[in-house]
C-alpha cells in the first residue's frame, strides 16, 4: 500500500509518500480504505522527536491518528459493523499514528453520518475524543458556564459545539478575526491575553464553573483566577500546569481513559444539524509536509485534513 511516512525525526520535509507494509484488523478492530485523515499538533510533535517518554517508533513511521473510510476488514469479536460500511474513528492511540495511508486499522469508530463529508469526518475523531474526555472530567452539563481558552482550533471548535449541545453556556477565546466564526458555533467570543480575567467577569457576572485550556499559552494562573479554584480547570497542552494545581488531561499510561463514546454522540448531533467539523484546509496526501507546516503555525481555524486517493 502507499502511505505518508518518515524514517527520521525532523522538520516537515522528512515526510514523503511511499510504499508501506499493509496492516490488518486484529481482535476488536476494523480496517478501512481511507478516504481522509486529520493532521493534529500531536503528529508534528511526534515527527519532531517529542514528546519525551513516548514509545519508540518503528521506521518508517506513518503519522495520523484519525480517519474516515470504508470498512474492508472486520476483526474477531467485532459486531455492529460490516464490510462496506462508511465509518470514522481513531487508530490505537498508543501507536501514535498509522492513519495517513491507503489502509488504516481503527481501534474505535462510529458510523459516518451523511451530514458529514469524508473530509469533515476524517478530521473529527481525535477532537471529539479529546473534547468529550475533558468535558466529562470538568462535569460540563446543562447550566454550566464554561470558558474555552483557544476555542477556534480543531479541538476548540468541537469542544464548543459539544458543550453547547450539553446545555452549557460557552465563552471562547480567539483572535478578533475569529469572533464571528465562534459566535456561529454558539460561543460568546472574547479576546485572549492580558485583561482576560476582567473581560470574562464582564461576560459572566455569575461566575465561570469550568475552564478548558486548549491553547497552552501560559495563561493558567489567569484561568485559575477565573474559575476560582484549580480543580475546575483542565488543560490538554500546558505541561507546566501542575505547578498551579491544574490537571493535564491526556490518554495513555498515567492519563485519562479514552472517551470513545463521544464519536457516536457527535455523529447523532451531526445528523440533527447540531454538529459540524470546520475545515481550515483540505490537501492531498502528497502535500503532507505542507499540512504539517500549517498545523505547526498554530493559526488553523478548524481542522487540517489530507485526502487519500
Residue range 16-70, pLDDT digits in tens: 999 999 999 999 999 999 999 999 888 988 999 877 667 788 899 999 999 999 9
Q: CA Rg, the chain, in Å?
A: 19
Pick from 277, 308, 18, 269: nearest CA to 124: 277
**pLDDT band, residue 252 (cuts 50/70/90):** confident
CA 234, 239, 245, 251 torsion-angle sign: positive
Whether the CB-CB separation of 43 and 295 falls below 8 Å is answered with: yes
- For 4-25, letters b (16+ CB in 10 Å) and e give bbbeeeeebebbebeebeebeb
Q: Is residue 226 pLDDT above 80, yes or no?
A: yes
**pLDDT band, residue 309 (cuts 50/70/90):** confident
Residue 182 phi/psi, 5-degree rounding, is: -65, -40
Tell me the pLDDT tens digit for each residue of 176-192: 999 999 999 999 999 99
CA distances (Å), 98 to each of 27, 41, 187, 217, in order? Answer: 17, 15, 34, 29
- Enumerate the β-bridge partners of residue 153: 302
Q: Is residue 132 pLDDT above 80, yes or no?
A: yes
Q: Is residue 219 pLDDT above 80, yes or no?
A: yes
- Enumerate the β-bridge partners of residue 106: 30
Q: Which whole number is the average pLDDT over 121-137?
A: 97
Tell me the pLDDT tens digit for each residue of 151-162: 999 999 999 999
**CA–CA separation, 224 and 230 (whole Å):** 5
Percent of the chain with pLDDT over 90: 88
Which runs of E-coded beta strand occur in the chain? Answer: 2-5, 16-19, 30-39, 66-74, 86-90, 103-106, 108-111, 145-149, 169-173, 188-190, 210-213, 233-235, 247-248, 279-284, 303-307
**CA–CA separation, 73 and 266 (whole Å):** 24
**CA–CA separation, 140 and 220 (whole Å):** 19
Q: Which whole number is the average pLDDT over 111-128?
A: 98
- Domains in the chain, ordered, with CATH? 2-124+277-307 (3.90.180.10), 128-248 (3.40.50.720)
**CA–CA separation, 304 and 307 (whole Å):** 10
Q: What is the pLDDT of residue 53?
A: 61
**CA–CA separation, 158 and 17 (whole Å):** 30
**pTM of the full structure:** 0.95
Q: Average model confidence (pLDDT) for the chain?
A: 95
Amino acid at each position: 500500500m502507499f502511505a505518508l511516512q518518515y524514517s527520521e525525526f525532523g522538520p516537515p520535509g522528512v515526510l514523503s509518500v511511499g510504499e508501506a507494509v499493509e496492516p490488518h484488523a486484529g481482535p476488536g478492530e476494523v480496517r478501512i480504505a481511507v478516504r481522509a485523515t486529520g493532521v493534529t499538533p500531536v503528529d508534528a510533535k511526534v515527527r519532531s522527536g517529542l514528546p519525551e517518554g513516548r514509545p519508540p517508533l518503528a521506521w518508517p513511521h506513518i503519522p495520523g491518528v484519525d480517519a474516515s473510510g470504508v470498512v474492508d476488514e472486520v476483526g474477531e469479536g467485532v459486531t455492529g459493523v460490516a464490510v462496506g460500511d462508511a465509518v470514522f474513528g481513531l487508530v490505537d492511540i498508543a501507536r501514535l499514528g498509522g492513519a495517513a495511508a491507503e489502509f488504516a486499522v481503527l481501534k474505535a469508530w462510529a458510523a459516518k453520518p451523511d451530514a458529514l463529508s469524508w473530509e469533515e469526518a476524517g478530521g473529527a475523531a481525535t477532537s471529539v475524543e479529546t473534547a468529550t474526555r475533558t468535558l466529562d472530567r470538568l462535569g460540563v452539563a446543562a447550566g454550566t458556564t464554561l470558558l474555552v481558552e483557544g476555542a477556534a482550533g480543531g479541538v476548540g471548535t468541537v469542544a464548543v459545539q459539544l458543550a453547547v449541545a450539553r446545555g452549557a453556556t460557552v465563552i471562547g477565546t480567539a483572535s478578533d478575526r475569529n469572533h464571528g466564526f465562534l459566535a456561529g458555533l454558539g460561543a460568546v467570543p472574547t479576546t485572549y491575553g492580558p485583561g482576560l480575567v476582567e473581560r470574562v467577569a464582564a461576560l459572566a457576572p455569575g461566575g465561570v464553573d469550568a475552564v478548558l485550556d486548549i491553547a497552552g499559552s501560559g495563561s493558567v494562573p489567569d484561568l485559575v483566577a477565573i474559575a476560582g479554584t484549580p480543580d475546575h480547570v483542565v488543560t490538554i497542552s500546558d505541561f507546566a500546569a501542575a505547578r498551579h494545581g491544574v490537571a493535564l488531561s491526556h490518554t495513555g499510561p498515567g492519563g485519562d481513559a479514552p472517551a470513545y463514546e463521544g464519536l457516536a454522540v457527535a455523529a447523532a448531533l451531526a445528523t440533527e444539524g447540531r454538529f459540524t467539523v470546520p475545515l481550515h484546509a483540505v490537501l492531498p496526501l502528497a502535500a503532507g509536509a505542507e499540512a504539517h507546516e500549517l498545523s505547526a503555525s498554530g493559526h488553523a481555524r478548524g481542522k487540517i485534513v489530507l485526502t487519500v486517493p
